[in-house]
Structure formats: structure tokens, C-alpha cells
Copies of this chain bind each other. A is one copy, B any other.
Amino acid sequence: MSDLFPPSEYHRRHSAIQARLQAAGLDAILLTQAADIFYVTGFLTRFWESPARPWFLVIPATGAPIAVIPEIGAHLMGKSVITDIRTWSAPRPEDDGISLLAETLSEVVPQGGKIGVAMGHETHLRMPLGDYSRLEGRLAPRAFVDATDVMHRTREVKSPLELEKLRQICAIADRAFARVGEIARAGTNLDVAFRAFQILLLEEGADWVSYVAGGAGQGGYGDVISPAAPKQLCNGDILMLDTGAVKDGYFCDFDRNFAIGTPSPEAARGHQILHDTIYAAMEVIAPNMRACDLHSVLCREITARGGAPCAGRLGHGLGVTLTEWPSLTPQDQTVLPAGMVLTLEPSVDLGQGRILVAEENIVITENGAGFLTNPAPRDIPIL
């Protein structure tokens, strides 16, 4: 774990967060979510899957970050750049770290000071709500205030070392997608294909596979979030597989479409439209354009080619979680800085409840944008 990144990478992140805390007049930030804590420490474990224990990380506006965590994590956290690690024997329902956390925050936040916590979109507080109320009571007159932007603005610009990690997991998924012909054909059960696709991702080097979804249906599919049914693939089906695989804590998130036998003309054309839309968008993406403007480019390019864009977002941020802000929607005015990693996820409505979704992972650069994936071919591959 300790060799995911050199210590300087974490120190850079801490400084960036602290600069934002100071600019916002906050005395500290309290982090409770896996991705935020991983981002500032490199603490990488699948143990977050257990809802039994809360984990806390405090970054004061100046000074060293402090981990306030269950004893069971002390050994692993001890390998990180964090030197101030305070533990309690969790789970201890009558006081599950709350006294220790209150004491820690009291040290670094003066009476009447402000503690940032994420309260905004795409966040939640990963600790019991009742414990949070008790913590508020213990720390008054210190106040908790929304600090969503502190982490969002810091995490959204990826460093060169992070881009290397993202390229690596995209390449792993590229290699797995290139082998889908080995595991899916007419007659294969969809659930068998889902399982086998996860095996391909692991064989190609994913540490684990946090997300696989997809669909299959005649000439298109109904949704993109369903688990697989034990349903046979048939000639004329369009099979879509979408994955968020993980390497060193970084996610890819893209899909590929395949035709089982000869695709319908509409599906074949839909695939071309989505491909051409993505390439057209890549030509016009420039740093500091807004998310809503990129959404509008994608819609325009689909429509110009005779396609019907689906409602809903057409892409999103990507990094240490499967999806990050912003959303490519008409409402989202987030500026897209150089270094931001996005999915472009245009989709077309083929009617009769059938859709087709393409997805690529890209990085905004100083000059435009570059692919992190090896983009899908224009013509839908036939299995």
C-alpha cells in the first residue's frame, strides 16, 4: 500500500486541501467516506464493505492530518503517511469513537471555530446519524458547515501519477473487452457471461471488480443497471457490458457493445452515431468549458446524425470512485479544468424501450482532451 504513491503525492494533496480550508475560513475538515480517506492517506481496504465501524480522518487547516479509527485498522494505517493515529476498540456502541473524535477535533478547532463536513451532492455522512448529533452537541459552540467543495475541487484535478493509475485500469479493461468473444456468443447465458467477464478483468490484472452491469436484448437493451438474468443470448441481440474495475484504488468506467449475429440496421447505425458523436465531441472539448456545454455538444452531435439522445446524464467524473462529479446534464455548470477525468456516455433511444449506450474515459488536457481507453470501433463488433 505504502508504495502506491510517493509521500510527496499525499503531502501535495494535504496542502491543496489545507489551502482551501484556509480560504473558506474553516479550522478543519472531517472525512468519513472511503474515497476521501483513501485519497488523503492511501488507506486501501475492502473492509469498508462492512457497515459495522465508522472511520474518521481529521485534517486541520494547519498541521498534520489525524486518523481516528478502529483498532483493527491501525496496522494498515501505520504503513501510510499518517503519523498521528488514534484508535478505539470498535465496535463499542455506547461510545463508538465519538469521545475520541470530539477530543481530537477540540484540539485543532478553537471554541466557536468551524468544522467542514461534506453535506452536498454526491456525498453522504458515513457514520450513524445519532452519533453525529452527539458529536455536534459535544463540540458546540464549534459548528459543522458544508465543505463539499473542498474535497471536490481538490480531487477533481488528477495529478500525473493519478492519470498513470487511471490509464492502467483502463488498459486492463480494454484487454478484457478485447476477449469478450471468448466468453459470449449465441446460446451463452447472460449471467454466465457476466461472471466470465469478471474473470477476464481479474486475469488481465484488475485487483477487484466493483461494478459490472449491462444488458442484452433484440436490437438494444432496456436499462443499464440490471444484474444479469439466466437468459440465453440470441441472434439479433445487442449485448452491452459495462465495468468499473479497480487497480490500486482507481476505477475505470466504460462499456462495450457487441452484436450477437447480424445486428439490426438501427442498432448498427446507432453504434456508428455514438462513435462519431464521441469523436466529434473530442474535437471541441477545451479546458474550462462547462459540463452543461459538453452535454449540449453531445446532444447536438447525436441529433445531427439522426439519432434521438436519451434523457439523463451523458457522462460524469471518474477517479477513486466509480462516478464523480460533475454530471454532463443541461443543469450542471461545473467548469472542466485540465486534469479532470470524465466519461463520455452518449446514448440513443431506439424506440420500443430499447437503448444503446457508448462510454469512453477521457482526460481534459491543456489543449483539448485525450482518450484513456482504446476507443470502441465505429462498427459494432459481431460475436
Bound Cα distance from A231 to B345, whole angstroms: 38
A226 partner residues in chain B, CB cutoff 8 A: 1, 45, 75-76
As a 0/1 sequence over residues 96 to 124 of chain A, the CB contacts with chain B under 8 angstroms (1 = contact) are 10000000000000000000011111111
As a 0/1 sequence over residues 123 to 153 of chain A, the CB contacts with chain B under 8 angstroms (1 = contact) are 1111111100100000000000010000000
A49 and B1 in contact (CB under 8 A), knowing A91-B121, A124-B125? no
Within A45-92, the residues touching B (CB, 8 Å) are: 45-47, 49-52, 54, 71-73, 75-76, 89, 91-92
Smallest CB-CB separation from A117: which chain B residue? Answer: B129
In contact, B1 and A227 (Cβ under 8 angstroms): yes
In contact, B72 and A96 (Cβ under 8 angstroms): no
In contact, B128 and A124 (Cβ under 8 angstroms): yes
In contact, A211 and B46 (Cβ under 8 angstroms): yes
For residue A208, CB closer than 8 A to chain B, the reply is yes
For residue A316, CB closer than 8 A to chain B, the reply is yes
For residue A216, CB closer than 8 A to chain B, the reply is no
In contact, B327 and A47 (Cβ under 8 angstroms): no
A121 and B128 in contact (CB under 8 A), knowing A49-B244, A227-B45? yes
Bound Cα distance from A33 to B229, whole angstroms: 23
In contact, B130 and A49 (Cβ under 8 angstroms): no
A-B contact pairs, 19 of them (CB 8 A): A45-B226, A46-B227, A71-B312, A72-B225, A75-B226, A75-B353, A89-B311, A91-B313, A91-B327, A92-B331, A93-B120, A93-B121, A119-B129, A122-B128, A195-B206, A195-B207, A198-B208, A199-B199, A202-B202
For residue A222, CB closer than 8 A to chain B, the reply is yes
As a 0/1 sequence over residues 215 to 234 of chain A, the CB contacts with chain B under 8 angstroms (1 = contact) are 00000001111111100000
Smallest CB-CB separation from A329: which chain B residue? Answer: B91
Query: Of B125, B208, B229, B323, which one neighbours A209 at CB under 8 angstroms?
Result: B208
For residue A332, CB closer than 8 A to chain B, the reply is yes
A interface, size bucket: 35 or more
For residue A191, CB closer than 8 A to chain B, the reply is yes
Give the dominant DSSP class at A's interface. loop
A45 partner residues in chain B, CB cutoff 8 A: 213, 225-227
A interface with B by C-beta (< 8 Å): 1, 33, 35, 44-47, 49-52, 54, 71-73, 75-76, 89, 91-94, 96, 117-130, 133, 146, 191, 194-196, 198-199, 202-203, 205-213, 222-229, 244, 311-313, 316, 321-323, 325, 327, 329, 331-332, 353
Query: Of B51, B212, B313, which one neighbours A46 at CB under 8 angstroms?
Result: B212
A118 partner residues in chain B, CB cutoff 8 A: 128-129
Bound Cα distance from A7 to B266, whole angstroms: 37
A49 partner residues in chain B, CB cutoff 8 A: 210-211, 244, 321-322
A118 to chain B, nearest CB (A): 7
Query: Of B208, B311, B329, which one neighbours A212 at CB under 8 angstroms?
Result: B208
In contact, A207 and B223 (Cβ under 8 angstroms): no
A126 partner residues in chain B, CB cutoff 8 A: 124
In contact, A210 and B46 (Cβ under 8 angstroms): yes
